Amino acid sequence: MANTVFTLFSLVLICITATQGRKTLHLNHELLTSNPVFGDDVHGICKTMVETLGYTCEEHKVTTKDGYILSLQRMPTGRSGQKADKPPVLLQHGIFSDASTWLVNSPDESLGFILADNGYDVWFANVRGTKYSNGHTSLNPNDQGYWDWSWDELAGYDLPAFVQYVYNYTGQKMHYAGHSLGTLMALAAFSQGQVLNMLRSAALLCPIAHMNQITSLLTKFAADTFIANDLYWLRIHEFNPNGPMTLVTGPNCCLNSSITDVSSEPTATKNLIHLSQMIRTGKIAKYDYGDEGENMQHYGQPDPPLYDMTTIPKEFPLFLTYGGQDMLSDVKDVQHLLNDLQDHNANKLVVLFKEDYAHLDFVRAVNANQMIYDPIMSFYRVN
């Protein structure tokens, strides 16, 4: 009974958020038309979250091969004002968020500031569809075509654009840190042999690859009933999350309860369908068009091609950290990924398990500096 009530509640919730998604679309439209200066840096991450705390920050833009104009922020110095003496680090946020993920806590508690204060040249990525990366060479977010993507494109276009841009700009190979979907983007790209030649190492927080064991009721429910697909046919192409996120993320142990105004960013409904396909089939594959003919057109084969995690080069330095309370990056799924990586060079793979952490603790817990970020910096120093 409780389950039924919960399920109904979830359904209503998803319908409400879907409706909100529509509203956001209009809102975006108004914002875009009333404010023709694209990418309005005055209200951007640098001006609102970094410079206000006395740090230097630069706004950058890169255009992907499929035309999306994406923003990056850079912190070239720490609070001392001294120029970075360590390599660049590229930080890639997860689903429903943006670069602010790495900056919401105090400078002593947020990975972005901590890296800058420790001498790293810090770069923050914002994927397509988020409010600071909503440009395109020919489409705008009101166009259905703008939202015609899933994480295949985030891994295949956005990530390579960010990495190539930072590499071009700094002339240096970089470290990477990704959270949640930012880990899937990296793992998928790595398994295709992409971007590795420009990276020194990668830290993966709450790795998402296999998704069969997911325990998040809301997510599993949406996947099982294929709600995302319904949204798609209702022509709601942009999905805006707003709701009790702990139902999805797990019970985060250590968030600062006085910080509540963290923005949620929309994503493409197609991206959610793709994730729900992973949950239902247990496979890490490209987006399934659900029709052999259409898959043939896109991939030259009737089934979507698989991403094979066992092909990730064994000598590439990887740091994986995951939590016992995380309902999205489930312990069993992470162990499945670790099994794929069983032949990885033992001294090139660091694994850090944190029993009491859930999905958001890894980016927002008040003790993540000691628990997670110090070990990541130790890992960077030797790679």
Ligand X SMILES: *[C@@H]1O[C@H](CO)[C@@H](O)[C@H](O)[C@H]1NC(C)=O
**Catalytic residues, which ones?**
180, 326, 359
Considering only the stretches 31-39, 164-172, 212-220, 316-324, report the one whose residues sit in contact with ligand X under the rule CB under 6 A.
164-172
Among 33, 168, 345, 370, binds ligand X (CB under 6 A): 168
Q: Which of 127, 161, 279, 371 binds ligand X (CB under 6 A)?
A: 161
Among 82, 256, 310, 378, binds ligand X (CB under 6 A): 256
Asked whether position 351 contacts ligand X by CB under 6 A, the answer is: no
- Separation of first and last alpha carbons in the chain: 53
* Tokens read off for 232: 């798609």
Position 164 contacts ligand X (CB under 6 A): yes
Of 146, 165, 176, 239, the one binding ligand X by CB under 6 A:
165
Helices (H), the chain: 2-34, 45, 111-117, 151-153, 159-170, 181-191, 217-224, 227-233, 246-249, 269-281, 292-299, 331-340, 361-364, 368, 374-381
Q: At closest approach, how far in Å is the CB of 158 from ligand X?
A: 11
Nearer to ligand X among residue 153 and residue 340 (C-beta): 153
List the interface residues with ligand X, window 85-144 (CB under 6 A). 106, 109
Closer to ligand X by Cβ: residue 274 or 364 = 364
In this complex, which beta carbon is closest to ligand X, that of residue 49 or of residue 278?
A: 49
* 93: CB partners within 8 A, 6+ apart: 99, 100, 101, 102, 124, 125, 126, 127, 179, 180, 182
What is the rounded distance in angstroms from the CA atom of residue 6 to the CA atom of residue 8?
A: 5
Single residue of 62, 95, 203, 365 touching ligand X by CB under 6 A: 62
Using CB under 6 A as the criterion, what x/- string covers residues 258-297 for binding ligand X?
xx--------------------------------------
Q: Which of 105, 125, 107 shows the shortest CA–CA distance to 116?
A: 107
3-state SS assignment for residue 233? helix
Rg (CA), the chain: 20
Which is nearest to 269 in space by CA: 241, 234, 228?
A: 228
User: Which span sits near ligand X by CB under 6 A: 161-169, 184-192, 241-249, 337-345?
Assistant: 161-169
CB under 6 A: which stretch of 158-166, 170-178, 216-224, 347-355 binds ligand X? 158-166
DSSP result, 277-326 = HHHHH---BSPP-SSHHHHHHHHSSSSPPBP-GGGS-TTS-EEEEEETT-
83, 202, 258, 350, 375 from 371: Cα distances, Å = 27, 17, 21, 14, 7
Residue 119 or 251 having the CB closest to ligand X? 251
CB of 368 to ligand X, least distance (A): 11
319 forms bridges with which residues in the sheet?
A: 203, 350
CB proximity list for 339: less than 8 A, separation 6 or greater = none
For residue 347, give the DSSP letter. Answer: G
**Amino acid (one-letter) located at 356:** D
Nearer to ligand X by C-beta: 109 or 340? 109
- Output the smallest distance, CB 31 to ligand X, in A: 27
The least CB distance from residue 168 to ligand X, in Å, is: 4
Q: What would the 3-class secondary structure string for 126-149 be?
A: CCCCCCCCCEECCCCCCCHHHHCC
Asked if residue 373 binds ligand X (CB under 6 A), the reply is no
Smallest distance from the beta carbon of 91 to ligand X, in angstroms?
Answer: 17
| Nearer Cβ to ligand X (104/320) | 104
Q: Per CB under 6 A, which region of 9-17, 50-58, 252-260, 297-305 contacts ligand X?
A: 252-260
CB of 133 to ligand X, least distance (A): 14
Which stretches of the chain bind ligand X, using CB under 6 A? 62, 106, 109, 161, 164-165, 168, 256, 258-259, 366
